[in-house]
Amino acid sequence: MGYQNLIAQAMAAKESAYAPYSRFRVGAALLTANGKVYTGCNVENVSFSATNCAERTAVYKAVSEGEREFSAIVIHGDNHDYLPPCGICRQVLAEFCDLDSFQVILANNEQDYKVMTLAELLPGAFQPGDLKPGNILPEL
């Protein structure tokens, strides 16, 4: 499968990043199961903990518009190397994505990229099915 268009969208999204503190811009392009693409960029905040990663920005945009099924995400950053998602982003992706089939594309450019599954990036993921009534949450 060619990811060039999705990679180009992530690279373009990176240009909108707000990163005055780290000066490290990241862009993401999230592909839904029905073929729609949502992009995101990192948005920093002086308090740092309020910063949002590009991957989560894309997921939250998609979810806020009713999307719940995703097939792939491209991540592209200013590091000139493959840039895997942080742990928080991996967990957010695990909330909505099939670990074995969801593809994470770590891209330097349209020709230089690496494809991994979410399962490879987050073995032993904590997922919604792990919450059982009476176990962690009270029965509703």
- How many residues are recorded in the chain? 140
Sequence letter at residue 112:
D
Residue in 21, 111, 30 with CA at minimum distance from that of residue 75: 30
Q: Which of 15, 55, 65, 139 is flagged as catalytic?
A: 55
Output the six-digit token pair for 78. 């200013």
Instruction: Please name the helix (run of DSSP H) or strand (run of DSSP E) that holds residue 58, with its range, or none.
Output: helix 54-64
Q: Are 24 and 79 in contact (CB under 8 A)?
A: yes
- Integer Cα distance of 23 and 16 in angstroms: 12
- Residue 55 annotated in active site: yes
Residue in 116, 126, 42 with CA at minimum distance from that of residue 72: 116
Catalytic residues: 55
